[in-house]
Amino acid sequence: MPTTTSPNRPGSTLKVAMLIQSYHPRIGGAERQLAALAPLLQRKGVEIHVLTRRYKGLAPYQEINNIPVHRLPVPGPKAVASLTFTLAALSLIRRLRPDVVHAHEMLSPATTATFAKFLFDVPILVKVLRGGKLGDLTKLHRKPFGERRLKLQKRLVDRFLVISNEIDRELQKEGIPAGQRFFLPNGVDTERFSPIPSGERSRFRRVLGLPDVPLAIYVGRLTSEKRVEHLLEIWPSVRERHPQAALLILGSGDQEPHLKQKAGLGVHFLGQVEDVAPYLQAADLFLLPSETEGLSNALLEGMSSGLAVIATSVGGSPDLIAHGQNGWLVPPNDTSALRDATLSLLDRPDLRAELGQAARAKVIAEYALPAMAERLYDLYIRLVNLDLT
């Protein structure tokens, strides 16, 4: 493969500055997706620098899996913190001289990117992380100078990266033309997240210290919009029909103490788990009751692991799931529908297996991580007009 050379520095590799609100060890969907894509881009000769906020106890600079991570100061109230971050990021961007600035979210990262475009004439991408009432556009409209910031983005952003049809419709409604929108959903490592033979499941459970009973699993942040409390509300009814059934909850967040107080029998909180793959492989059913989503990495991982999935019909979930064919969709905030779907799939091992196989086939065909990295790499190349021949 030829080396990806930079037009700014002949003989040097293509350099991309990634702007993101937080990064490892603070883990969310956007952080996990960036961490998964970065090594694949590196293998193509892309030099990546992550520019993020410096939270308490974290070093100003660190290399994580060979990725330079620059943590910039965010002192004082929100307005002061945002301004300080932007100024520090612009100073660093000037020194790094990247060929592309890639912002993750339409708020502070995108604002910083638009200033970088104005000052340094560098191509910029903005990944829109979420749609709906808690989405990027909704938040931006409510922010101070939000309309002005949006107008600036419309004028200066080279491409908005779109992860769901919901987000694409929102951007279209804002008047952002199709040529400025680039559909690039999140991807999943289909080799790491893969099913195991059903005969191995009991051994996996034993190794992980899990009961060998019907297991449903939730993976994600424990925050209000995830509606994990709905799983706790339905679980007594589930156990009336399946007395041994257990619910595994992997993740942490500000709702954790409240949820633990509310939990009944058969609910197991496992906290923040570094490697969720074995837990998905050990489970029977994946549950995602969110009120709002972008495109859930956890849902992609569950489907890739060959699990039957039940998710609310929000965000990118309807893009992934054809109801009754490769998963199950329920309306958000409808605990009766969530309970009935969970019972139906726990009752039917044959249907779970059928849905799980179709779910994995879907993500392999359309959401495999290497294909997403290839498409993003090609977009970088087009934006900087590189000729690799």
Nearest to 89 by CA among 24, 19, 149, 150: 19
**Is 334 buried (19+), middle (13-18) or exposed (0-12) by CB count in 10 A?**
middle
Does residue 40 lie in a domain region? yes
The mean pLDDT value for 178-196 works out to: 96
Taking only the tens place, the pLDDT of each residue in 325-336 is 999 999 999 999
Q: How far apart are the C-alpha atoms of 166 and 287, rounded to whole Å? A: 21
What is the total count of domains within the chain?
2
Taking only the tens place, the pLDDT of each residue in 239-292 is 999 999 999 999 999 999 999 999 999 999 999 998 999 999 999 999 999 999
Does residue 7 lie in a domain region? no
247 and 121: one domain? Answer: no
47 and 79: one domain? Answer: yes
Residue type (1 letter), 111:
T
Residue type (1 letter), 267:
V
Does residue 218 lie in a domain region? yes
226 and 275: one domain? Answer: yes
Range of the domain at 31: 14-187+368-384
Alpha helices per DSSP H over the chain: 29-43, 78-96, 108-120, 136-142, 146-156, 165-173, 201-208, 228-241, 256-262, 277-282, 297-304, 317-320, 335-347, 349-366, 369-384
Residue 7 or 179, more confident? 179
Q: pTM of the entire structure?
A: 0.90
Taking only the tens place, the pLDDT of each residue in 282-326 is 999 999 999 999 899 999 999 999 999 999 999 999 999 999 999
Residue type (1 letter), 87:
L
172 and 211: one domain? Answer: no
Q: How far apart are the C-alpha atoms of 264 and 154, rounded to whole Å? A: 49
Does residue 231 lie in a domain region? yes
Does residue 193 lie in a domain region? no
379 and 289: one domain? Answer: no
352 and 373: one domain? Answer: no
pLDDT bin (cut points 50, 70, 90) of residue 387 is very low
Taking only the tens place, the pLDDT of each residue in 128-176 is 999 988 899 999 999 888 999 999 999 999 999 999 999 999 999 999 9
Is residue 41 a contact partner of residue 370, using CB atoms and an 8 Å limit?
Answer: no
Does residue 2 lie in a domain region? no
Q: Which residues, at least 6 apart from 239, have a Cβ–Cβ distance to it below 8 Å?
A: 245, 265, 266
Does residue 4 lie in a domain region? no
Nearest to 181 by CA among 144, 212, 153, 201: 153
Does residue 3 lie in a domain region? no
Cα-Cα end-to-end distance for the chain: 11
144 and 263: one domain? Answer: no
Tell me, what CATH number does 179's domain have?
3.40.50.2000
180 and 215: one domain? Answer: no
21 and 169: one domain? Answer: yes
